[in-house]
Amino acid sequence: WIGYTEPNATSTDAITEMAKDSTATIDMAASGPTKLDAGVNAAKSGSLQYKGGLLADTLTFASGLAQNGSVSFDMSAGGANTLTMGQAAVSGSLSYTGGANTDTITTGGGSGSTNGVMSFDMSNGGNNTLNLGPGNFPKTFSYIGGPGTDTLIAATAFMVFGSHSTVFDMTDGGANTLTFNGAAIGASGTKLDYQGGAGADKILASANFLYGVDTSTVSLGAGADELSIAGDTHVSSPLSTITVDLGNDTDGDKIEFHGYVNAGSYPISTYTIQNFKVGDDSILLGLPTATSQVVLNVASGDTQVTYSAFGSPTVQFTIEGVALTAANLSLTGGGDVLIS
């Protein structure tokens, strides 16, 4: 028990300013279970390294963690680990390596702002959950998933300010779900690289997602995958592209576009869908209310999809490598147009 007056959860005496303006290493590899309660400004303008053990590590940090400093958590030994933070890695860096058991991480609002770096390596497996507070927008964000279940839940305004890079490597497979509760991954200079694996990958966005971004790629890989965007999505300029690759499989992938898709004067070739399999995959369009409103134009073996309102296109993207006709359009029971 570190940061407790007695070995029970009600007798906290948080360690304040641990490793502030200095360096500290905590190695609990030979002990555990461990509980740590740290107050404000841990590793502020300093450095903190924590190594967990085989048993559960339960860590709590107040705000100011690794501001202008660095903190790393090595939990690769295993155990059911929980890390809860206030605002962290402002102009600093945060790295976390999980183990083969369950890892649950929560970040506070505004973490990573002002050119911070946040990285999470869960490749050892287990059932992992990352809860990101509102307004997390580090300069660089990376997440490596494992063969188990990886769940990411982001509050509003994730990676929506300034120029940022977001990378998800889920190629180890597993059942992966990313849920964005609010606008996410938008603004000129921002880009996303998502690489899925053989399991089911789900990306669920409740508002604008990939809107006004530089060249970005969503490769979902094998498995029954889903990309659902409730808001708008578009590139930042005619020189940028967004590519959604459904994977060369017949597992039944699903895309849902409920808002604008590349609306305006962007070239239709800047937003593309790859590896769409007729009869297996589907694309739902929430704006048109009749199949006759959707225009399919086949050019060089690709299908250009357009829906216009008020005299300008509000949905426009290209499905590569397949020639579709009106027979591939249907109306769902909810009044949306389905491409299948």
End-to-end CA distance of the chain: 57
Tens-place pLDDT, residues 272-297: 999 999 999 999 999 999 999 999 99
Give yes or no for residue 51 having a pLDDT over 90: yes
8 Cβ contact list (under 8 Å, min separation 6): none
| Tokens standing for residue 225 | 């995958």
Question: Residue 256 — very low, low, confident or very high, per pLDDT cuts 50/70/90?
Answer: very high
Give yes or no for residue 161 having a pLDDT over 90: no
Question: Residue 103 — very low, low, confident or very high, per pLDDT cuts 50/70/90?
Answer: very high
How confident is the model over 17-33, as a mean pLDDT?
95
| Tokens standing for residue 292 | 């006759």
Strand pairing partners for 79? none
The answer for 54, left when phi > 0, alpha when psi is -120 to 50, beta otherwise, is alpha
Rounded CA-CA distance 165/93 in Å is 15
pTM: predicted TM-score of the whole model, two decimal places: 0.97
Q: Alpha carbon 88 to chain centroid distance?
A: 18
Instruction: Let me know the angle formed at the C-alpha of 189 by 188 and 190, rounded to the nearest 5 degrees.
Output: 90
CA 170 to each of CA 6, 220, 221, 293: distance values in angstroms, whole numbers, following the listed order: 42, 9, 9, 37
Query: 139: part of which helix (H) or strand (E)?
Result: none
How confident is the model over 317-340, as a mean pLDDT?
98
Handedness of CA 167, 110, 154, 53 (dihedral sign): positive
Question: Residue 112 — very low, low, confident or very high, per pLDDT cuts 50/70/90?
Answer: very high
Q: Alpha carbon 151 to chain centroid distance?
A: 9
Rounded CA-CA distance 206/179 in Å is 8
Burial of 225 (C-beta count, 10 Å sphere; 0-12/13-18/19+): buried
Closest C-alpha among 307, 301, 304 to residue 337: 307
Other CB atoms within a 10 A radius of the CB of residue 279 amount to 9
Rounded CA-CA distance 246/226 in Å is 9
Rounded CA-CA distance 135/90 in Å is 12
- Largest Cα separation within the chain, whole Å, is 73
Average pLDDT, the chain: 96
Tens-place pLDDT, residues 28-47: 999 889 999 999 999 999 99
Is the omega angle on the peptide bond into residue 33 within 30 degrees of 0, that is, cis? yes
Give yes or no for residue 202 having a pLDDT over 90: yes
Contact 116, 136 (CB under 8 A): no
335 Cβ contact list (under 8 Å, min separation 6): 289
Rounded CA-CA distance 97/71 in Å is 12
Half-sphere exposure at residue 23, Cβ-oriented, CA atoms within 13 angstroms: 0
Q: What single DSSP character describes residue 33?
A: -
Give yes or no for residue 252 having a pLDDT over 90: yes
Strand pairing partners for 219? 195, 245
Q: Quickly list DSSP for 78-97.
A: -S-EEEEESSB-TTSEEEEE
Which pLDDT does position 162 carry in this prediction?
81
Residue in the block written with tokens 């279940």: 149
Identify which has the larger pLDDT, 2 or 304: 304
Which pLDDT does position 10 carry in this prediction?
87
